[in-house]
Structure 1
């Protein structure tokens, strides 16, 4: 009977030691997780040392990646095209004339997907079907054309937005590098 009590006491002591060891490991693990979470949350916060992204104006020339942009003008329209072929806006067309220069070493494919209108947290995509009917004075269209290194092209990008959005003072054009938009710049359109 004494042997049974000794066995039970030994098992109980081992169980307590095991639980204590596990809880201290868990506590250490929890501390490591908490520290990692703090580092992750602090690194995801924007640094005060980083410069805010500059907001350009119509007429400014600036570079994003290997591409140089100059937004020439912004105009509004209710219809694009001519009397025979064209489209009417659901709201109002914002037509942006932009010059693009390829400063890279390879040709790039131009697309209206490189452009978005931004108003606060809201993003507006370009209207490719309306863009077909809009050309610059030289007749150029930016949709899916190739631009070789050291060359530039001027064309227009069309957005169909609510008339209040078209004239909103906070409306900005976002330009980006390529389809994935790893680098961007903003242009104020109504200030």
Structure 2
């Protein structure tokens, strides 16, 4: 009896087996590399995030310190000079009255239902440039309220014999004295009040002068 010959698998079938094996091996290798890369990137991202957070915290701290420095307020008393931003303020006298005598028969006296607080201030310019001072750069704080200088024409006329601070220019090294008038209620305790003075319109820096001896 003749022996049966074993049938061989077609050549193309064997080729596909090897191709499939190569694809599987390649996929496994690539997946491992991607996981390692993702892990490395994740570590780098975490480090970068932490560094950014620390930098942001440092910047915020610097801004807060800078803000505190810019809004710094110094305190003095009557007769004591107080310098802020190269400008020296000195309160030399404080008066209270319900009527301002004009001292001129042709000008009426200024009156009020409350009282006037007249503050004499000397301003010295220690800057390198000319300085402009205006009465609006001053505020009076008393009893939890803040008062602006009076802009009444009657008061201005009555005080015409005294120097004021209406857009007054002070050159470097010189000083200027003037009177600032505030109109307040009768019950305001001036001895407990504070005059707030700023060398500029924006008032970013200022000095507080207690109106007590």
TM band (smaller chain) = 0.5 to 0.7
Total equivalences in the alignment: 183
After the TM superposition, which residues 87-106 of structure 1 pair with which residues of structure 2 at under 5 Å, given as runs?
A: 94-106=117-129
Other-structure match for 1:188: 210
Higher helix share: 2
Other-structure match for 1:109: 132
CA distance in 1, matches of 2:146, 2:59: 31
Which among 37, 43, 50 is matched to residue 18 of structure 1? Answer: 37
CA distance in 2, matches of 1:148, 1:182: 22
CA distance in 2, matches of 1:10, 1:161: 86
User: Does the 8 A contact of 1:80 with 1:130 survive in 2?
Assistant: no
The alignment partner of 1:97 has SS state of strand
CA distance in 2, matches of 1:144, 1:35: 47
Unmatched segments (≥5 aa) in structure 2 = 1-19, 67-71
User: Does the 8 A contact of 1:107 with 1:146 survive in 2?
Assistant: yes
Q: Which has the larger radius of gyration?
A: 2
Other-structure match for 1:126: 148
Which among 53, 57, 64 is matched to residue 34 of structure 1? Answer: 53
Task: Tell me how large the CA RMSD over aligned residues is.
Answer: 4.1
CA distance in 2, matches of 1:145, 1:58: 22
Higher strand share: 1
User: Does the 8 A contact of 1:124 with 1:159 survive in 2?
Assistant: no
Unmatched segments (≥5 aa) in structure 1 = 47-51
1:55 aligns with 2:78: no
Quickly say closer, same or farther: Cα 1:96–1:8, change in 2 above 3 A.
farther
Q: Aligned-pair distance for 1:153?
A: 2.3
